[in-house]
C-alpha cells in the first residue's frame, strides 16, 4: 500500500520571491516575524536593522555638518554630490522605517498568504493562465531590477575612484599633485583624515560601499517589491474582467422544463455573482491597504526625483569633463529609475484605469446578462454595479497619480530649470 503525500507550493518558495526576501534580508527589510516564531536569526536581523538605521542617521547628520563647513570654500559642482547624497540618505531612512510599521508587515503577510496569484490559480483555467503570465513578468522584473541595482552601486563607487586615478592620487604622498585631495562618493564629517591620508580614504571608501549597497536595497529592493505587488493587482483585475466576460447565459434544455432550467440558471448565476463581488472586494481592500502603506513612500520618491533632477542638472550644467564624469552616470541612474517606476504604474493605469476604475468595471458589470435574470439576481447586479463605481487608485500621498504624465512633468520642470540656469550663466 502506497501513501500519497500532497505538497502545496507556497508563494515564498518561488524563485523570485526567495530572491526578493534574501535581498531585503541583507538590510533587515523583510518582516520575518510575520511568517513564523522568533528565532535567533530574526532577533539578529532585528538588532542589525536598528544598528544600521542608527549608522545612517549618524551619517546623515555628519554629512549635513560637513556641508555647513564646506559651503564657504567650495562651489556648487563640488557640493552637488553632497546635496544629492543627503537627499538619498533621507529617502533611505524613511524607507527603512517601513519595517517598523505594523501596516507594512501586515500588507506583506496578506500579499504572500492570501493575495498572491499562486493562491488563486487553482480556481479556474483563466486564473492559471493569468498566474503564468504574471509569474513570467515577475521573474523578468526581478532579474532586471537586481542587475540594475548592481550596476548603479558599481557606478556610484567607481566614478570617484576613476576621478582619483585621473588626478594621480594613488601614488606616494611625495609624488602626488599639489592641492589635490581624494574624492569620495559620499562625504562625512570625520575625525580621521579622509582626503589626504590613504588609510583614512580606504576606511571611508569601504563605509561608502556598504552604505551604497544598503541604499540599493532600500531603493531598488523595495521598488521591486512594490512592482511585484502591482503586477499581482493587475493580474487579479484581469481575472475579474475575464470572469465577467465569460458569464454564462441560459441555455435551453429539451429534457427539462423552461421553469426548471430558469431556476437552475438563476441559482448558478447567483453563486457566480457572489464570487465576483467577493473577488472585487478582495482587490479593493488590498488596493486600499497598499495605497495606505506606500502613499508616503511614493510621495517622497517623486519629491526626491524633482529635487535630485534640479540639483544634478545644475551640477552638470558646466558641461566640463569633470562634471560629466561625476554626474553623468548618476543622472542616468536616477532618470532610469523614474521612467521605470512611471511606466510600470502607467501599465496598470492603462490596463485597468486605476485613475478612473469605475468607467472600466461599470461597463463590464452592465454587460452581464441581467435581462434574463430573476429579481434577486438583478438586485445583486445592481449592488455590484454600485460597488465598482467607488473610485480606487494608487496615488503618491493620496493625491498625485504615479504615471507617465507625472514623470513627464518632473522631467520637463527639471530640464526647464537646467536651460534657465544655462541661459543665465551665458549672459
Q: What is the pLDDT along the chain (427 residues), one digit of tens a residue?
A: 333 333 345 888 899 999 999 999 988 888 888 887 778 888 888 888 888 888 888 888 888 888 887 777 777 666 777 888 888 888 888 888 888 888 999 999 999 989 999 988 888 888 999 999 999 999 999 999 999 888 888 888 888 888 888 877 777 777 777 777 888 887 877 777 778 878 888 888 888 888 888 888 888 889 899 999 989 998 998 898 889 888 888 764 445 556 677 788 888 888 999 999 999 899 888 988 888 888 888 888 888 888 888 888 877 777 777 777 777 777 888 888 888 888 877 766 655 554 444 456 778 888 888 888 888 888 888 888 888 877 666 666 666 667 677 778 888 877 777 777 667 655 4
**pTM (two decimals):** 0.85
Q: Where are the alpha helices (DSSP H) in 246-320?
A: 258-316
Name, in order, each residue with C-beta under 8 angstroms of 17's C-beta and a sequence gap of 6 or more.
11, 112, 228
Long-range CB contacts for residues 367-371, cutoff 8 Å, separation at least 24: 367/244, 367/245, 368/244, 368/247, 369/247, 369/249, 369/250
Among residues 222, 255, 198, 5, which one has the least CA distance to residue 98?
A: 222
Cα separation, 339 vs 397, in Å, equals 19
Q: In a 10 Å sphere around its CB, with 0-12 CB exposed, 13-18 middle and 19+ buried, how is residue 173 labelled? A: exposed
Measured CA distances, 94 to 199, 285, 288, 327 (Å) = 32, 25, 21, 24
DSSP 123: S
Q: For the chain, what's the residue count?
A: 427
Amino acid at each position: 500500500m502506497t501513501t500519497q503525500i500532497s505538497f502545496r507550493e507556497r508563494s515564498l518558495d518561488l524563485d523570485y520571491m526567495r530572491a526578493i526576501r534574501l535581498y531585503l534580508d541583507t538590510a533587515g527589510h523583510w518582516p520575518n516575524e510575520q511568517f513564523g516564531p522568533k528565532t535567533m536569526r530574526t532577533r539578529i536581523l532585528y538588532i542589525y536593522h536598528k544598528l544600521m538605521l542608527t549608522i545612517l542617521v549618524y551619517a546623515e547628520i555628519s554629512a549635513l555638518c560637513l556641508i555647513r563647513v564646506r559651503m564657504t570654500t567650495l562651489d556648487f559642482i563640488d557640493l552637488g554630490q553632497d546635496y544629492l547624497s543627503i537627499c538619498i540618505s533621507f529617502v533611505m531612512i524613511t524607507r527603512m522605517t517601513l519595517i517598523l510599521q505594523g501596516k507594512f508587515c501586515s500588507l506583506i503577510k496578506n500579499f504572500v498568504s492570501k493575495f498572491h496569484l499562486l493562491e488563486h490559480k487553482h480556481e479556474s483555467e483563466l486564473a492559471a493562465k493569468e498566474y503564468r503570465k504574471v509569474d513570467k513578468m515577475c521573474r523578468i522584473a526581478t532579474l532586471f531590477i537586481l542587475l540594475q541595482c548592481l550596476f548603479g552601486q558599481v557606478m556610484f563607487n567607481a566614478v570617484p575612484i576613476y576621478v582619483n586615478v585621473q588626478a594621480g592620487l594613488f601614488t606616494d604622498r611625495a609624488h602626488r599633485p599639489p592641492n589635490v585631495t581624494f574624492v569620495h562618493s559620499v562625504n562625512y564629517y570625520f575625525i580621521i583624515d579622509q582626503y589626504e591620508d590613504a588609510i583614512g580614504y580606504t576606511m571611508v571608501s569601504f563605509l561608502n560601499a556598504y552604505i551604497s549597497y544598503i541604499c540599493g536595497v532600500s531603493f531598488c529592493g523595495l521598488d521591486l517589491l512594490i512592482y511585484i505587488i502591482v503586477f499581482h493587482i493587475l493580474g487579479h483585475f484581469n481575472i475579474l474582467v475575464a470572469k465577467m466576460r465569460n458569464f454564462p447565459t441560459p441555455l435551453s434544455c429539451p429534457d427539462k422544463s423552461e421553469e426548471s432550467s430558469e431556476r437552475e440558471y438563476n441559482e448558478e448565476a447567483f453563486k457566480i455573482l457572489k464570487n465576483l463581488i467577493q473577488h472585487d472586494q478582495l482587490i479593493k481592500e488590498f488596493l486600499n491597504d497598499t495605497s495606505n502603506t506606500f502613499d508616503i513612500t511614493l510621495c517622497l520618491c517623486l519629491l526626491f526625483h524633482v529635487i535630485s533632477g534640479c540639483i544634478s542638472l545644475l551640477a552638470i550644467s558646466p558641461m566640463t569633463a569633470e562634471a560629466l564624469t561625476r554626474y553623468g552616470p548618476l543622472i542616468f541612474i536616477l532618470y532610469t529609475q523614474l521612467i521605470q517606476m512611471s511606466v510600470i504604474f502607467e501599465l496598470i493605469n492603462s490596463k485597468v484605469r486605476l485613475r478612473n476604475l469605475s468607467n472600466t468595471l461599470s461597463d463590464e458589470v452592465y454587460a452581464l446578462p441581467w435581462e434574463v435574470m430573476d429579481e434577486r439576481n438583478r438586485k445583486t447586479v445592481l449592488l455590484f454595479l454600485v460597488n465598482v463605481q467607488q473610485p480606487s487608485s494608487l496615488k503618491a500621498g493620496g493625491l498625485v497619480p504615479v504615471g507617465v504624465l507625472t514623470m513627464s512633468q518632473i522631467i520637463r520642470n527639471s530640464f526647464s530649470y537646467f536651460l534657465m540656469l544655462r541661459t543665465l550663466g551665458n549672459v
